[in-house]
Chain A
Amino acid sequence: EADIYQTPRYLVIGTGKKITLECSQTMGHDKMYWYQQDPGMELHLIHYSYGVNSTEKGDLSSESTVSRIRTEHFPLTLESARPSHTSQYLCASSTPTGAGRVAFFGQGTRLTVV
């Protein structure tokens, strides 16, 4: 059972508001990720981090930003939310296996911008 937590689970917010989605893991994993997923669709990597003070852009361009000040914490921020940001955001962390890396996911935050 993976120990990775996201808050809030659901968020409805007005256009123009600043929001921060929280993600924490207690497994000591060095690498963490944010994925964006529309209902029933594939996951798109928007940010990842190799460790403390490391942040990288993912494959899908996003107006969000991330920070990694502590190993266990990887928050995602939208400075000014827009309806186009409505989606599910999934946080993950990974650990190397003998073959490759396996990612463990949080429950997700479903964001609705009205």
Chain B
Amino acid sequence: GESVGLHLPTLSVQEGDNSIINCAYSNSASDYFIWYKQESGKGPQFIIDIRSNMDKRQGQRVTVLLNKTVKHLSLQIAATQPGDSAVYFCAENHPNNTDKLIFGTGTRLQVFP
């Protein structure tokens, strides 16, 4: 069946380093992906999105890369800060129903001084 999954449950990085969070998806027909950040006790917040006709998209300190060949996307956070500590989810617009989002398990990012 369709699924969106993350490679690592927890990522620990030192403040100031770059972080890379990975996500795999299984449906090659998926054409739109979103990264969300969920801080403790809060709902997920939109970070950045990317369409399948793009390989890379940049935001403020964040970059999303999409590799359609291996059905993989990643979220890169430059100069990671303590405020980046959260759980990060990738989400996929359901290819047969764009009204539904499929979420992965999530990766917890821990930033230490």
- A35 CA / B38 CA spacing, docked (Å): 14
Residues of the B chain whose Cβ atoms lie less than 8 Å from the Cβ of A31: 99
Which of B39-47, B63-71, B75-83 lies at the interface?
A: B39-47
- A15 CA / B24 CA spacing, docked (Å): 39
* Interface mask (A68-112 → B, CB under 8 Å = 1, otherwise 0): 000000000000000000000010101011011111111110000
| Size class of the contact patch on chain B | 20 to 34
* Interface mask (B63-102 → A, CB under 8 Å = 1, otherwise 0): 0000000000000000000000001010101000011110
- A97 CA / B51 CA spacing, docked (Å): 11
Q: How far is the CB of B52 from chain A (nearest CB, A)?
A: 9
Q: Does A66 contact B (CB under 8 A)?
A: no
- A107 CA / B42 CA spacing, docked (Å): 5
Q: A41-B106, A107-B42, A108-B43 are in contact. Are A101 and B49 (CB under 8 A)?
A: no
Q: Cβ of A97 and Cβ of B49 under 8 Å apart?
A: yes
Q: Cβ of A42 and Cβ of B106 under 8 Å apart?
A: yes
Q: Does A45 contact B (CB under 8 A)?
A: yes
Q: Cβ of A48 and Cβ of B43 under 8 Å apart?
A: no
Q: Does A43 contact B (CB under 8 A)?
A: yes
Interface residues of A (CB under 8 A from B): 6, 31, 33, 35, 40-43, 45, 48, 50, 59, 90, 92, 94, 96-97, 99-108
Interface residues of B (CB under 8 A from A): 31-32, 34, 36, 41-46, 49, 51, 87, 89, 91, 93, 98-101, 103-106, 108
Q: Which 3 pairs between the two chains have the least Cβ-Cβ distance?
A: A105-B43, A100-B32, A100-B93
